């Protein structure tokens, strides 16, 4: 990692008034959860269209549930890594001037202690009724083929699939956090999925009501991403190492 870039990142953190963080699958990689695109388009052996689209669910709801049951069981077995823990410590410091926007559905940010988490793509830990829309936490004794307790309708994972809208309230909060912040950390994302990736240029170009300084952007990734040309500082290495190093340099 480039030390002058690291020093620049520390200075930006020190002077930040409001921090927003955008995370992707890479922040959970060191916990043992496979990233989305490392598996050349196959996701744990499945084509994306089969398991992460409404068409795939309609075609074979059981296959989709088995895919998400397996990912939920895997997420239950792993622990937040030092990168997750460092992000929770950052929120402790900035409190209500800190927002964590995640594309991840594994719940590891919350398990590490983050409270202000905006889950853009839903959660492995919730179901949604295809009939009455009820959203419920998934219990330990969840059946393989689940039905709604309220109306008996078929349940689906409470996940945003390709071609589906993000939850309006969540995305609005995420946009607000991108506009409000004067520093955005972009951690472990290939930045190819929209509208999530659009939050990065939004942070850079937007200005807060009371001042014209738009946000600086720091990218933390093991390799450059689609966002790299637009970031102010790039720190390339594992986020589970870099985030704790940044935190230590602040203290
Ligand atoms: C929408 C479900 C429209 C949850 C996900 C053509 C047809 C249809 C749609 C589109 C199209 N073209 C564009 C679109 C829009 C589409 C899109 O953006 N497609 C992309 C692929 C081109 N977007 C959508 O469909 C969205 N909805 O547009 O609706 C609409 C409009 C009006 C009305 C109706 C509809 C919905 C997008 C959400 C899709 N759901 N997942 C789940 O099961 O997980 S997205 C999926 O990608 C995952 O959620 C994942 O989080 C997300 C982003 O990927 P990343 O998190 O970045 O993961 P990735 O593996 O790619 O990268 C990992 C990174 O980590 C890498 O950079 C790697 O270097 C780094 N890394 C690895 N290890 C480490 C590390 N970094 C640091 N440390 C490490 N140790
Ligand atoms: Zn129902």
Predicted local confidence at residue 41, as pLDDT? 53
Query: What is the band of 238 on the pLDDT scale with cuts at 50, 70, 90?
Result: very high
Q: Phi/psi at 48 (nearest 5 deg)?
A: -55, -45
Active-site residue, selected from the candidate residues 84, 109, 121, 216: 121
Closest CA to 183 of 11, 26, 28: 11
Average pLDDT, the chain: 94
Ligand closest to CA 152: 2
The percentage of residues in the chain with a pLDDT greater than 90, rounded to a whole number, is 88
This prediction's pTM: 0.96
More confident residue, 3 or 21: 21
132: CA distance to ligand 2 center in Å?
Answer: 4
149: CA distance to ligand 2 center in Å?
Answer: 7
Least trusted range by pLDDT, from 10-19, 43-52, 91-100, 223-232: 43-52
Task: Please confirm, yes or no, whether 118 is among the known catalytic residues.
Answer: no
Q: Phi/psi at 22 (nearest 5 deg)?
A: -115, 115
Residue 238 Cα: closest atom of ligand 1: 78
Query: What is the band of 29 on the pLDDT scale with cuts at 50, 70, 90?
Result: very high
Query: What is the band of 185 on the pLDDT scale with cuts at 50, 70, 90?
Result: very high
Least trusted range by pLDDT, from 3-12, 36-45, 59-68: 36-45
Question: Ligand 1 site: residues with CB under 6 angstroms?
Answer: 24-26, 29-30, 35-38, 52, 103-105, 121, 159-165, 188-190, 192-194, 221-223, 225, 238-240
Closest CA to 124 of 225, 238, 44, 244: 44
Q: What is the mean pLDDT of residues 206-216?
A: 69
17: CA distance to ligand 1 center in Å?
Answer: 29
pLDDT in tens, 77-99: 999 999 999 999 999 999 999 99
Instruction: Provide the terminal-to-terminal Cα distance of the chain, rounded to the nearest Å.
Output: 20
């Amino acid at each position: 990692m480039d030390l002058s870039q690291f020093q620049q990142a520390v200075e930006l953190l020190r002077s930040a008034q409001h921090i927003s963080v955008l995370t992707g699958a890479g922040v959970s990689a060191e916990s043992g959860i496979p990233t989305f695109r490392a598996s050349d388009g196959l996701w744990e052996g499945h084509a994306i269209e089969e398991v992460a689209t409404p068409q795939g669910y309609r075609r074979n709801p059981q296959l989709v549930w088995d895919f998400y049951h397996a990912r939920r069981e895997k997420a239950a077995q792993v622990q937040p890594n030092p990168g997750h823990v460092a992000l929770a410590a950052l929120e402790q410091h900035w409190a209500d001037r800190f927002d964590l926007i995640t594309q991840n559905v594994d719940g590891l940010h919350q398990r590490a202690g983050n409270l202000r988490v905006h889950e853009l793509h839903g959660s492995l830990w919730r179901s949604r009724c295809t009939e009455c829309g009820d959203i419920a936490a998934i219990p330990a004794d969840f059946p393989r083929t689940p039905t709604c307790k309220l109306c008996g309708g078929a349940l689906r994972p409470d996940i945003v699939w390709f071609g589906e809208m993000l939850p309006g309230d969540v995305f609005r909060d995420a946009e607000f956090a991108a506009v409000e912040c004067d520093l955005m950390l972009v951690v472990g994302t290939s930045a190819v999925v929209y509208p999530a990736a659009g939050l990065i240029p939004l942070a850079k170009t937007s200005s807060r009501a009371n001042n014209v300084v738009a946000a600086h952007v720091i990218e933390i990734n093991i390799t450059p991403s689609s966002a790299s040309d637009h970031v102010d500082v790039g720190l390339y290495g594992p986020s589970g190492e870099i985030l704790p190093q940044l935190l230590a340099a602040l203290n």
